[in-house]
Structure 1
Amino acid sequence: MADYAHLKNGSDIRGVALDGVPGEAVNLTEQAARDLGAAFAVWLADKKKKATGALTVAVGRDSRLSGPSLLTAVSAGLRGAGVTVYDCAMASTPAMFMSTVLPGHGYDGAIMITASHLPFNRNGLKFFISDGGLEHEDIEALVALAAGELPSGGDGGCRQVDLISDYAAHLVEKIRAGIGGGEQPLSGFKIAVDAGNGAGGFFATKVLAVLGADISASQYLEPDGSFPNHIPNPENEQAMEAIIRATVENGCDLGLIFDTDVDRAGAVDAGGHEINRNRLIALLAAIVLEDCPGGTIVTDSVTSSHLAAFITDELHGVHRRFKRGYKNVINEAIRLEKTGVAAPLAIETSGHGALKENYYLDDGAYLCAKILIKAAKLRAEGKTIDSMLADLKEPAEAAELRFKIELDDFAPYGKQVLCDLEQYVNTQPGWQMAADNFEGIRVNFTEAGQRGWFLLRMSLHDPILPLNIESDDVGGAKKIAQQVYDFIKSYDKLDLSPLECYIR
């Protein structure tokens, strides 16, 4: 009996799909993909109250080298259960969700084969129905089903569909309607797109070019799962340097960058300034709150104090700082909406951003569409997109350090560190526990020379304690780091070398 519990990763399946990295044996095999496909058929039949033979499921992949073989295997598992498969070939994660709701598609379910920004040897599966992505408990159920008796021998058919073109056309119409300026409302804009050789190249050729934009400065649009130029990840320093360079050297009005499967994005203004992390959240908050005055913006736990002030004081919205994890912030926004609280945007600093108007789907391409609509309207007023961030203050210093917990059973140890820190905070003069924190321990400092904050938390899935620090004073971050070190240095199962190096 197969046991695929090791492939669970929150609300996804992830594993090693290719040989080539020492110490990383393949565990997301074609057999595993086949079994998980069949298990999804069983789960979906129960959810939809249909026979498996009456189900339709779309399957797509990003540019990873293992994508084609895993897509074939997943499709075989579905077809063996009697499901009709719609093979979307190269697609984005948001497009695969949209396959359950777009006119002309509307499948019962969808599976995307991706591991987001992880290295070339990894891959995974994301599962969707029209209500959204599956939750953690749904993945638990799938893994349990995959370990049991599965239907096989069915004769479900397979049809090829060009989903990404239909999805791109959907975005084109959204942008046209938002700008209200004819067939090519982006004429006169020069926009660089960096797809990092992932699945996002379509945004340049099938969206921007159709809308009249000059995309000649775009780069790395061709899918290549070896990722030869840089990691497709807006949080990666090399990746951001690449899109900044392309934007500035080619005199572009805007630069856009996507992760591998296009559920995250970042941007660059004409001056080469990043619109990423807190700045991306601030920009999107400014855009959505124009149509939802006083609305609540849900973010993860590591957002800046200055971002919170920008949302509340400048935009007159409400900031809800919640837990890390894109599903956490999305589900919190959905929960707030159900209680009557308007929550138009749920977004992580990683670039996962979901809007209520778009099914609360974390969709990097849709976020870029919103930015483009606003940029076009601002141009008509003689303004540029960076004008919306003029009142956002930036910290003088920021750092993120990660401490590995050197234990197999790491969770209890990490939780004990945080429990001890909570008690320690109360004994330290000048330390103020943040009132609006839902994850880890966040402490504010107001003393001159070290004004700022730190957050120590547990990683969602890994044996890691990440430490985030921001300070409004030059040299202040190291002063805060030293005080954290004074507390944490006695924990001998933590690798504190990143903190020690930073202080030195």
Structure 2
Amino acid sequence: MDSQLVCSEIIAKSGIAFGTSGARGLVKDFTPEVNAAFALAFISAIENEFSFDTVAIAIDNRPSSYAIAQACAGVLKQHKLNVVYYGVIPTPALAYKAMQDNMPCIMVTGSHIPFDRNGLKFYRPDGEITKADEQAILASKAIFAALPEHLNELPLDVSACESYTLRYTSLFNADTLKGKKIGIYEHSSAGRDIYKVLFEKLGAEVISLGRSDEFVPIDTEAVSDEDKQRALDWSNEYSFDAIFSTDGDGDRPLIADENGNWLRGDILGLLCSQLLKIEALATPVSCNTAIEKSANFKQVKRTKIGSPYVIAEFAELADQYTSVAGFEANGGYLLGSDVTFNGKVLKALPTRDALLPALVLLAQPKQVSELLIELPQRFTASDRIKDFAKEKSLKLIHSFKNDTSHFLGSLGYEEGYSVNSTDGLRITLDCGDVVHLRPSGNAPELRCYTESSSEQSATKLVINALNFISNY
């Protein structure tokens, strides 16, 4: 083979690294060779475990995503694999279809990060790759030939979109959302051409909002002030029962109640889990303690942040309980076992999904705000400092862990506390307030999560913590 290229060597020089959810990096670093190296390394990491001859690929709406998909497809075809291209669809739609057809898949997406960055998510035929798979990808010695300058166009297959839609139209009755008026904040979401049709099939009156031809980096854990105001304005103008949106690749939901107030993702996950009658949960340490305080679950397993860590707990929980699920602070819901709902069996989908928690919540006769009032009243807030190098974050966290008094004193605390270092530095005060610092796994950012007895105090706490750090 001419111009033989070794996957691990190409990847090591690329500047692209695995974070909490896939490989992420700057668009300029996703060259055709790098894309090909990651795709082939992924296949070489799993080919001894599974038998397959086809790999599925889908993308988000980023300007760079299609070319990345072309390069991935090019190297796979070079190695005698068939490729099916599902176009722009949500990540869970791709994962669901691939799992049903017992084939691996690659999602080209940077999720919520800015459009000058992109990423790759990899799925084995049985679901998301593990941390061990990530290491195998990075170490792969598979070789390939340089790709041609002009790559082939990818013929579109719409069956994944149809399969994902059917998953939910078959679960709910056609009049489930009858009488409800729902806004869909479409922006540049990969699922924007699915959601309106699906909600209308379930009986809702739907109004499309905020569709954009430019990529919009929606972060469901750090909703912008502009998007907070948009929801309030839209709710006031249209008298919605709810507003639904997602991040860029449609695996993290964003729901606003009838008053235009966005729900926290972990609160949405808690409500969905209650309504699905889930027995055991796996959820990251950053999620709201209302989960335990609700006393709805036989076991709650706390993990590091990232869907691979949540999924890693499912097998053990499934040995003990009949229904298992997980969710993250970003709202992405992971169904770890088959469950029965509405008298029908819903198949497991152990990857983040935005539609399930949204539909389960909106299918209830009560308004969203009424469901919220019934929960233990614990409130969380989160924000981030951008362009904050990971090394700087780790150094700061190490410093605070050794001497927390100065940091806490600046926030007005003089009481006792405990420290949890499962993922970053999580400080729980004797009064119940929480401050949690950790570097982002996907971008050069320092994230801060807080919890308190009111929304105002949680928000004030996150602002004060990040102000202190900015001037530290």
Offset of 1:63 from its aligned partner? 0.6
Mapped to 1, the partners of 2:123 and 2:455 lie a distance apart of: 46
Corresponding residue for residue 21 of structure 1? none
What is the identity, as a one-letter code, of the residue corresponding to 1:39? A
Query: Does residue 353 of structure 2 align to residue 363 of structure 1?
Result: yes
Answering whether residue 181 of structure 2 is matched by residue 193 of structure 1, we say no
SS in 2 for 1:101: helix
The structure richer in strand per residue is 2
Q: Which residue of 2 aligns with 1:488?
A: none
Tell me the CA shift for residue 201 of structure 1: 1.1
Q: Alignment partner for residue 332 of structure 1, among 313, 317, 323? A: 313
How many Å separate the matches in 2 of 1:345 and 1:475?
30
For 2:332, which of 346, 349, 352 is the aligned residue?
352
**Are residues 88 and 422 of structure 1, via their aligned partners in 2, closer, same or farther at CA, if it must alter by over 3 Å?**
same
What CA deviation, in whole Å up to 9, does each residue of 1:340-372 have, x standing for no partner? 156632111112221223332211122223223
User: Which of 120, 123, 133 is residue 125 of structure 1 equivalent to?
Assistant: 120
CA, structure 1 residues 134+266, in 2 after alignment: closer, same or farther (shift >3 Å)? same
1:459·1:465 contact (CA, 8 Å) conserved in 2?
yes
The residue aligned with 2:166 is 170
For 1:149 and 1:16, the matched residues in 2 are separated by 24
Amino acid at match of 2:257: D
Inter-CA distance 142–267: structure 2 relative to 1 (3 Å threshold): same
Q: 1:78: Cα distance to partner? A: 0.8
Contact 1:195–1:232 under 8 Å retained in 2: no
TM-superposed deviation, 1:481: 8.5
- 1:7 equivalenced with 2:5 (yes/no): no
Q: Which whole-Å CA distance do the structure 2 matches of 1:481 and 1:214 have between them? A: 37
> What does 1:369-408 align with in structure 2 at a 5 Å threshold?
369-373=359-363, 375=364, 378=365, 383-394=366-377, 398=381, 400=383, 402=385
Is structure 2 residue 433 aligned with structure 1 residue 431?
A: no
The equivalent residue for 1:23 is none
Aligned residues: 443
Identify the residue that residue 46 of structure 1 maps to in structure 2. 48
**Cα 1:245/1:478, change in 2 over 3 Å:** closer
C-alpha change, 1:284 and 1:44, in structure 2 (3 Å) is same
Kindly indicate whether the alpha-carbon contact (under 8 Å) linking 2:107 and 2:122 is maintained by their aligned counterparts in 1. Answer: yes
C-alpha separation between the residues in 2 aligned to 1:248 and 1:479? 26
Q: What residue in structure 1 maps to residue 95 of structure 2?
A: 97
The match for 2:104 among 106, 109, 134 is 109
Task: Look up the match of 1:262.
Answer: 250
Judge conservation of contact 1:14–1:28 (CA < 8 Å) in 2.
no
Return the letter of the residue paired with 2:181: K
For 1:60, the equivalent position in structure 2 comes to 58
Letter in 1 for 2:415: G
Aligned letter for 2:286?
Answer: V
Structure-to-structure mapping, 1:173-322, within 5 angstroms? 173-176=169-172, 181=173, 183-215=174-206, 217-221=207-211, 224=213, 226-227=214-215, 230-235=216-221, 236-237=223-224, 238-289=226-277, 292=278, 295-309=279-293, 311-312=294-295, 315=296, 318-322=299-303
Deviations 1:182-203 (A, max 9, x none): x443332211111222212133
Match of 2:345 in 1: none
AA aligned to 1:170 is: L
8 Å contact 2:288–2:451 — kept in the other structure?
A: yes
Matched position secondary structure for 2:256: strand
* Higher RCO by CA contacts (8 Å cutoff, separation 6 or greater): 2
Query: Do the aligned partners of 1:101 and 1:107 also contact (CA within 8 Å) in 2?
Result: yes
| Counterpart contact for 2:59–2:69, Cα < 8 Å | yes
Residues 470-479 or 90-99, more deviating = 470-479
Residue in 1 that maps onto 2:399? 417
CA distance in 2, matches of 1:464, 1:188: 42
Give, as a single letter, the amino acid of the residue that structure 2 aligns with 1:42: S
* CA shift in 2, pair 1:98/1:39, >3 Å: same
Structure 1 residues 212 and 349 mapped into 2: Cα distance closer, same or farther (>3 Å)?
same
Give the distance between the partners of 1:159 and 1:478, measured in 2 at CA.
Answer: 48
1:107, CA displacement in angstroms?
4.9
- Contact (CA 8 Å) 2:268, 2:331: kept in 1 or not? yes
Shift of 1:8: 2.2
Cα gap change, 1:64/1:459 in structure 2, threshold over 3 Å: closer, same or farther?
closer
**CA gap 1:439/1:12 in 2 versus in 1, 3 angstroms:** closer
Distance 1:186 1:476 in 2: 35
CA shift for structure 1 position 56 = 0.6
Distance change in 2, residues 1:480/1:65 (3 Å) = closer
Runs of at least 5 residues in structure 2 that lack an aligned partner in the other structure = 339-347, 408-412
Judge conservation of contact 2:283–2:310 (CA < 8 Å) in 1: yes
Identity across matched positions, percent: 20
Does the CA contact (< 8 Å) of 1:83 and 1:157 recur in 2? Answer: no
Q: Distance in 1 between matches of 2:203 and 2:85?
A: 30
Q: Note the alpha carbon deviations across 1:138-166, whole angstroms, 9 max, x for none.
A: 23322333x6423789xx99753103431
Distance verdict in 2 for CA 1:245–1:467, change over 3 Å: same
Q: Is the Cα contact below 8 Å between 1:88 and 1:160 reproduced in 2?
A: yes
Change over 3 Å in CA distance of 1:475–1:204 after alignment to 2: closer
Q: 1:473 to 1:195 in 2, by over 3 A?
A: closer
Q: Structure 1 length as normaliser, TM-score?
A: 0.76
Change over 3 Å in CA distance of 1:342–1:416 after alignment to 2 = farther
- Do the aligned partners of residues 437 and 296 (structure 1) sit closer, same or farther apart at CA in structure 2, a change above 3 Å counting? farther
**The residue matched to 1:197 in structure 2 has which SS?**
coil
Tell me which residue corresponds to 1:443: 427
The two structures, once aligned, show a CA RMSD in angstroms of 3.8
Q: 5+ residue gaps in structure 1?
A: 18-25, 486-495
Aligned to 1:386, the other structure's residue is in SS state: helix
* Residue 261 (structure 1) shift: 0.6
Match of 1:70 in 2: 68
Question: For 1:471-493, what per-residue CA distance to the aligned partner results, in whole angstroms no more than 9, with x for missing partners?
Answer: 437996799789x98xxxxxxxx
Structure 1 residue 16 and structure 2 residue 1: aligned? Answer: no
- CA distance, structure 1, for counterparts of residue 370 and residue 458 of structure 2: 28
